[in-house]
Amino acid sequence: MDLHVWLAYLVAAWVIALSPGSGAVLSMSHGLTYGVRQTTATIVGLQIGLAIILLVAGAGVGALLLTSAAAFMVVKALGAGYLLWLGWRQWRAPVTGPAGQADAARAAPLSVRQRLVQGMLTNATNPKGIVFMVAVLPQFIDPHRPLALQLLILLATTVATDLVVMHGYAALAAGLSAGLRSVRARRAQNRVFGGVLMAMGAGLLMADRAARAG
- How does pLDDT run across 148-199, given as a tens digit for each residue? 888 889 899 989 999 999 999 899 888 876 555 556 666 776 777 778 768 8
Q: What pLDDT is stored for residue 106 in this prediction?
A: 42
- How does pLDDT run across 112-128, given as a tens digit for each residue? 899 999 999 988 887 66
Least confident of 56-65, 124-133, 155-164: 56-65
- How does pLDDT run across 66-115, given as a tens digit for each residue? 667 776 677 677 767 766 877 787 777 666 554 343 343 344 678 889 99
Three-state SS string across the chain, please? Answer: CCHHHHHHHHHHHHHHHHCCCHHHHHHHHHHHHHCHHHHHHHHHHHHHHHHHHHHHHHCCHHHHHHHCHHHHHHHHHHHHHHHHHHHHHHHCCCCCCCCCHHHHCCCCCCCHHHHHHHHHHHHHCCHHHHHHHHHHHHHHCCCCCCHHHHHHHHHHHHHHHHHHHHHHHHHHHHHCHHHCCCHHHHHHHHHHHHHHHHHHHHHHCCCCCCCCCC
Domain boundaries, given as residue ranges, for the chain: 3-204
For residues 18-24, give the mean pLDDT. 78
Checking if the pLDDT of 37 tops 70, the result is yes
pTM > 0.85: yes or no: no
Q: What pLDDT is stored for residue 63 in this prediction?
A: 62
